[in-house]
Amino acid sequence: MDLDVFVTAHHTEWDRLDQLLGRGRRLTGAEADELVALYQRTSTHLSLLRSTAPDPALIARLTQLVARARSTVTGSRRASWRDAGRFLTAGFPAAVYRSRRWWIPTALLSVLVAAVIGWWIAAHPEVQASIGASSDLREMTRPGGQYETYYSSHPAASFAAQVWTNNAQAAAMCLVLGAFLCVPVLWILFVNMLNLGVGIGLMSSAGRLDTFLGLVLPHGLLELTAVFVAAGTGLRLGWTLVDPGPRTRRAAVAQEGRAALGIAVGLALVLFVSGLIEGFVTPSGLPTWARIAIGVAAEAAFLVYVYAWGGRAARTGERGDIESADQSAELPTAA
């Protein structure tokens, strides 16, 4: 291809496209149609130049021109407060609700594992001895010991921020690593339940299980629920790779992945609340019943939010995904 001849033949079209783009939204109907046609032709010209007569300066100009035209033709939409409101009132709770068949069994099985580990440690002194020296264990479990002072060892605000960061990181890992066929998620869950089971076992063996539960339940109900939701969603994402259902594997993973990303953002807010409870309520001087009542109220509020708002949104077709207008078109596949 003779580059000079090609430029001479088409430069007026490129200049006209540039002129129309410069007018922004002040286009008549005919001019808008002309812009679309010029965009399509210029895209073809750019493709031809890249494959037959690469000229860096010309390709750079046409690339910029095509990008501007694409943005004008396809349009762009900025996130708004409406999107945030839709996410909080419909998208996030609906996504959690839709994942309930994964995270509820995950929660029940995980709690059972923690309870079994706790019983095993409490009932077997030799297992306790393998965890640490008897003097160290007494220091951890005695009144005013490490299990109790842990929650008041730092200023409440900084402790809440630290707890929130750590828990949000664990939840995000469960969501992201679910794509690796679920195995890392199961390991993260087991480590968390092992730590909980050790605390149950050691404090139970010291006759202070009630104290331990009084410290854990205020923030732990909501915190563990968030972790279980993250783990269940991660497991669901991993299983989608194995069984995408009637959708193509690519479309299924993309859809579930976007929903999982939304759940990650929502759970960060949930864990922020549990972090506040752990930083300000758990170490407070409130009676144990009052601290537990606050934790139960926070947990109940979250479950009502998921089942009432999320269930209603899910029944109307909400999946926790981005709006259909913002999704990429999918090619039809043979049945």
Residue at 62 is within a domain: yes
Give percent helix, percent strand, percent coil of the chain, each to the nearest 5: 80, 0, 20
Q: Which of 29, 59, 30 is nearest to 42 (CA)?
A: 59
Half-sphere exposure of 8 (CA within 13 A, CB side): 5
Same domain, yes or no: 266 and 125: yes
Q: Which of 106, 270, 102, 96 is nearest to 188 (CA)?
A: 106
Same domain, yes or no: 222 and 313: yes
Same domain, yes or no: 166 and 304: yes
**Cα–Cα distance list, 78 to 81, 260, 321 (Å):** 10, 21, 17
Give the separation between CA 287 and CA 73, rounded to whole angstroms: 63
Give the separation between CA 265 and CA 87, rounded to whole angstroms: 10
Residue at 329 is within a domain: no
Give the separation between CA 100 and CA 228, rounded to whole angstroms: 10
DSSP 83: H
- Look at the pTM and tell me if it is higher than 0.95: no
Same domain, yes or no: 62 and 168: no
Residue at 318 is within a domain: yes
Q: In the chain, what percentage of residues exceed pLDDT 90?
A: 33
Same domain, yes or no: 16 and 159: no
Q: What pLDDT does 100 receive?
A: 93
Same domain, yes or no: 208 and 289: yes
Q: CB within 8 A of 246, min separation 6: which ones? A: none
Question: Residue 39: what residue type?
Answer: Y
* Domain count for the chain: 2
Structure tokens at 190: 């087991």
Same domain, yes or no: 147 and 28: no
Give the separation between CA 265 and CA 258, rounded to whole angstroms: 11
Q: What pLDDT does 200 receive?
A: 93
Contact status, residue 102 vs residue 185, Cβ threshold 8 Å: no
Same domain, yes or no: 103 and 177: yes
Residue at 239 is within a domain: yes
Output the average pLDDT for the chain.
83
Q: What pLDDT does 96 receive?
A: 94
SS3 155: coil
> With 80 as the cut, is the pLDDT of residue 330 above it?
no
User: Locate tokens 């979250």: which residue?
Assistant: 302
Question: Residue 211: what residue type?
Answer: T
Give the separation between CA 78 and CA 73, rounded to whole angstroms: 16
Same domain, yes or no: 106 and 14: no
Residue at 333 is within a domain: no
Same domain, yes or no: 56 and 119: no
Q: CB within 8 A of 34, min separation 6: which ones? A: 16, 20
| pLDDT band, very low/low/confident/very high, at 154 (cuts 50, 70, 90) | low
Q: pLDDT tens for residues 244-267?
A: 888 787 877 777 787 888 888 899
Residue at 328 is within a domain: no
| pLDDT band, very low/low/confident/very high, at 334 (cuts 50, 70, 90) | very low
Give the separation between CA 129 and CA 114, rounded to whole angstroms: 19
Domain encompassing residue 118: 81-322
Q: pLDDT tens for residues 224-249?
A: 999 999 999 888 888 888 888 887 87
Q: Which of 275, 193, 201, 200 is nearest to 231 (CA)?
A: 193
Q: What pLDDT does 301 receive?
A: 97
Residue at 125 is within a domain: yes
Residue at 331 is within a domain: no
Asked whether the CA dihedral 25, 329, 315, 306 is positive or negative, the reply is: negative
Lowest pLDDT segment from 40-49, 63-72, 83-92, 322-331: 322-331
> Among the three residues 30, 59, 74, which one is the final residue of a domain in this structure?
74
> Among the three residues 74, 100, 130, which one is the final residue of a domain in this structure?
74
Give the separation between CA 17 and CA 277, rounded to whole angstroms: 59
Same domain, yes or no: 120 and 207: yes
> Among the three residues 59, 74, 89, which one is the final residue of a domain in this structure?
74
Same domain, yes or no: 108 and 167: yes
